[in-house]
Amino acid sequence: MKMMRQFLIVFSSISILFVISACNNGENRPQVSGEDGVENSPEKDAQIQKYNLEQQKKFAGTRTPCDTLSIKEYILHNYPQGNYLVNFDKLFSYSLPKPALIYFERDRRYIFAVVAKSREGERLIEPKNIVGYDQSFIDLDSTELGTAYFYLTLFKCESGNIEKKWESLIPSHGGFNRITLQVWKYRGTPFIKANFHYGRGTGHIDYNYFLINGIENKPHLLMTYEGINFKRTITNYNNDKYPDYYEHIYYDLGDRIFSKDSVAFVWNDKDSVYVNTKNARQTRPY
């Protein structure tokens, strides 16, 4: 019993020291609790973002002009509250997520990034709620988790200073996976592919942003996708500078589903729509 009492005394002392130490280590950390949580308080969210950024700076080591932390700082200081640089979806359960930005290979002054914005009048979004396969079902949650608007954004780095050149809406609210730099093989046109999971259709959706008129002008959007009973692929149908696409037609025979036909859609620059080559009354915005 004496040994047991000694053990309890020592254990209690250690516990108290641990609590005191934890409080001291987080003395400058913004406190959030109850109904006034960060999702309902843009001011508290901004405090947390600033605190996290300063902590990341402390452990960043050697930095370069216009690096990831610089982009985060630019968004924090120049965007409304509730706007965030998004992360790529994790490749593995325990891997660290990487920021969703890529440097243009032909000129590394240009940086493509995905920024998510919270819809005005709703609770702030949480970046973890809009990235990954499970989050592709977020549209079914209405506005309970806030509504995210994704933007593909081009930043330019000049003499260590960051400037936003343009941003283009990505028409999706959740399920972000990653962005990659691609080249359209027919004309050598570079484009950014923003890949999203699509759980409801057991597939994925790609929003392809073609740099038709140079990198500093807003890109041209073409959506493609693929799943168990739907598919759209890029093609060069009429040999102009704009990419076209084939919409594949699927047949469901009960025991099997397969595609045996397709119809081409071509871009009408005058009306800014894609037009069905077999039915001109059917158009698509992207």
The pLDDT tens digits of the residues spanning 123-144 come to: 999 999 999 999 998 877 655 7
Provide mean pLDDT across the span 263-273.
97
Is 213 in the same domain as 103?
yes
Residues 193 and 274 grouped into a single domain: no
Q: Is residue 80 part of a domain?
A: yes
- What is the percentage of the chain residues whose pLDDT exceeds 70? 85
Specify the pTM. 0.84
On the question of pLDDT at 105 being above 80, the answer is yes
Clarify whether residues 145 and 252 are in a common domain: no
Average pLDDT of the residues of the chain? 87
Residue 109 located in a structural domain: yes
Residues 192 and 238 in one domain: no
Of the given ranges (34-38, 55-59, 201-205), which has the lowest mean pLDDT? 34-38
Among 177, 198, 227, where does a domain finish?
A: 227
Query: 271 versus 94: which is more confidently predicted?
Result: 271
Nearest-angstrom CA–CA distance, 193 and 214? 16
Distance of CA 4 to the CA centre of its chain: 55
Overall domain count for the chain: 2
Residue 140 lies in a domain: yes
The domain boundary residue, chosen from 202, 227, 252:
227
In a domain, 174, yes or no: yes
Co-location of 119 and 195 in the same domain: yes
Residue 44 lies in a domain: no
pLDDT band for position 19 (cuts 50, 70, 90): very low
Same structural domain, 214 and 233? no
Q: Is residue 37 part of a domain?
A: no
Q: Give yes or no: residues 222 and 140 share one domain.
A: yes
Kindly state whether residues 76 and 209 are assigned to the same domain.
yes
Look up the domain containing 74 and give its range: 64-227
Q: Which of 6-10, 14-18, 158-162 has the highest mean pLDDT?
A: 158-162
**Do 197 and 265 reside in the same domain of the chain?**
no
Q: What's the confidence (pLDDT) of residue 194?
A: 98
pLDDT value at position 37? 65
pLDDT in tens, 256-267: 888 889 999 999
Q: Which range, of 15-29, 93-107, 189-203, averages the lowest pLDDT? A: 15-29
Residue 175 in any domain: the answer is yes
Domain boundary among 177, 196, 227: 227
Closest CA relative to residue 247, chosen from 226, 219, 272, 271: 226
pLDDT tens for residues 214-254?
999 999 999 999 998 999 999 999 999 999 999 999 988 88
Percent pLDDT > 90 in the chain is 67
Q: In this predicted structure, what is the pLDDT of residue 140?
A: 72
Query: Does the residue 9 lie in any domain?
Result: no
**263 and 122 in one domain?**
no
Pair (99, 173) in one structural domain: yes
User: In this structure, are 71 and 178 located in the same domain?
Assistant: yes
